Amino acid sequence: MDKVVVSFSGGLDSTILLYKMVRDYGVENVYALSFFYNQRHNIELLQAKRTTKTLKVSHTIIDISFLGAMVAGVSSMVIGNIETPGFSEKDMPSSYVPFRNGILTMISASFAESIGANIIALGLNMDQPDEEIIKYRYWDITPKFFEAMSAVLKLNTTHPLQFIAPFLLLSKVEEIQLGQELKVPYKDTFTCYNPLIEEYGTTYEPESAGGYNRHITHRYTPCGVCPSCFERAESFRKVGLTDPILEGVIA
């Protein structure tokens, strides 16, 4: 029986992927793995918790905040003083996190081997087959990166691991259309590198002993200018859908 570990950020790509893996392999054989690295868009992890609760999927969050501390001086993806970029096809954006996808892949492999899983699924999405454009953007979402990581995993002869990236050559439009077929609630995803965060209200969660825990809720709204916002907005527009997170997400 195949067991699948899904590298699950809570963003658009990985959420559609998780729904697909549950459909293809059964919820009991799917394990969601998320990472905290002091990223600005921590709302994605809150959305990830919502999705795994809805799907009843096993969910593990691993703290790799060392990565955030290490790249804070060069990457706007983590909390620091680097400005979040707008969309560009000519320069490597500051939202690039040095070797992040390689690190996440290797940790996912360790996790998979530890629980006896034999498949690792990533929501890598290139969304642009033109190599002349790719070289100015994220090198670690390309087919060559995927092939190199797959080659490393094949060196493990005692616990074979298959590395799959079903969306690697799909466009965002095709992904969103697949998500419609899978009935993915897009309001439970989030895609923005630097969301606007506003205090929204206070809730009180009951304790089993009879007391209450106070919880301050926030509204997260996409910035609308970062590369992820740009690509997501364009893709929803092409599909003819209104992106539900534009009204903000409460968490």
pLDDT tens by residue, 79-91: 988 988 776 655 6
Percent of the chain with pLDDT over 90: 69
**Contacts of 26 by beta carbon, 8 Å cutoff, 6+ apart:** none
> 78 to each of 19, 72, 119, how far by Cα in Å?
27, 6, 29
The pLDDT mean for the chain works out to 90
Superfamily of chain region 4-184: HUPs (3.40.50.620)
Residues 6 or more apart whose CB falls under 8 angstroms from that of 134 comprise: 126, 128, 142
What is residue 41's predicted lDDT score, i.e. its pLDDT?
87
CA distance 21 to 210: 39
93-142 per-position pLDDT tens digit: 788 899 999 999 999 999 999 999 999 999 988 655 444 444 446 788 88
Q: What is the mean pLDDT of residues 185-197?
A: 93
Note the pLDDT of residue 70. 96
| pTM exceeds 0.85 for this model | yes
